[in-house]
Amino acid sequence: MNFRLISKKNPDVINILSFVIFFILSCDSTESIQPLEQNKVDPFIQNKKIAKTINLGNALDAPNEGEWGVTLEAEYFQIIKSAGFSGIRLPIRWSNHTQANAPFTIDENFFKRVDWAVQNALDNNLAIVINIHHFEEIFSDPLAFKQKLLSLWEQIARHFKDYPDDIIFEMLNEPHQKLTSEIWNEFIAEGISLIRKIDDKRTLMIGPANWNSINSLSTLEIPNVENLIITVHYYSPFEFTHQGASWVENSDRWMGTTWDATNTQKELIDKDIAMVKEWGIRNNRPIFIGEFGAYSKADFNSRFRWTEYMVQVMQKNEISWSYWEFCSGFGAWDQQTKKWNELLYALIQPN
């Protein structure tokens, strides 16, 4: 700076500088400098937390815990973390543990059991997806049970409002039957609006109708909200993954179906997962394949090959996933021997 210019002989310069200083000091800093939004949760970062996840199925999603052969143990969370998983998906049959009429209050002891599971996950540095699972009534009569669905989410949202963001809410598992895409899209919009009024930072997860099918992604209407993950399920080829499944009519006729990792078989998976990835990119939404697996009635080597290839393709396409499931009919953990079977090595692969 040339100090000779700032003198009594240059009053105009002094006046200009005085005005500039006054203007700067008088500006409202909150208006002139917009700070970055604080505490904003990025769903893509959230989705990475559940990049390698396993379902604790057939426990809290049974009519009553234990009736389907699985009772959760504290050690399960430690075992899952030590094996290299980053999170768990916890299917929960809330609808079986409420008052019969409005406001459909959730049973206190059942809520405590869910709390116990959530805290065990957090204590072991596992992210956790909690959902509404096996709400069978809403699939046969959606409008009659809509208010119960919304009441469940209001209670769940209030209960977990101050919990860490490592808890993710999945609104409903596998909408299907009379819960059509059109009706489900309406329920999604109302449900998200309700939850956001209670907890505006919680990561939410929704999937399409028709059992969360990838082929129904095009029917999913996504609300204009942030912090949202999209989930789909993948069990293709179904004749292989569900051969001999007691809950699938005439599935015994598929017994003996193998998956041999032929080029044709791989290409079918490649095409499906590429479509899912492309949809996610086009809609700027992270994707989570919340269920995939092959039932234990298939030969083990085929199950291993299919699972291994699925994980490779999902990781290549940067899609997070959750294997179905921990220790039951699709299980990678054996409750009797208390050891992982070789499916663990198909699931947890070097990047």
Q: Which of 154, 174, 190, 278 is flagged as catalytic?
A: 174
92 and 114 in contact (C-beta within 8 Å)? yes
Q: Which of 239, 291, 318, 325 is flagged as catalytic?
A: 291
Is 186 part of the annotated catalytic residue set? no
Is 174 part of the annotated catalytic residue set? yes
DSSP-based three-state secondary structure for 130: strand
DSSP-based three-state secondary structure for 339: strand
DSSP-based three-state secondary structure for 41: coil
Q: Which amino acid is at 206?
A: I
Q: Which two tokens stand for residue 145?
A: 């049970």
Instruction: Tell me which residue of 106, 163, 168, 113 sits closest to 135, measured CA to CA.
Output: 106
Q: How far, in Å, CA of 346 to CA of 332, rounded?
A: 10
Residues with Cβ < 8 Å from 54, sequence gap 6 or more? Answer: 80, 85, 88, 89, 322, 323, 325, 326, 332, 347
121 and 127 in contact (C-beta within 8 Å)? yes
**How many Cβ atoms from other residues are within 10 Å of residue 27's Cβ?**
11
Q: Which amino acid is at 104?
A: F
Q: Which residues are catalytic?
A: 174, 291
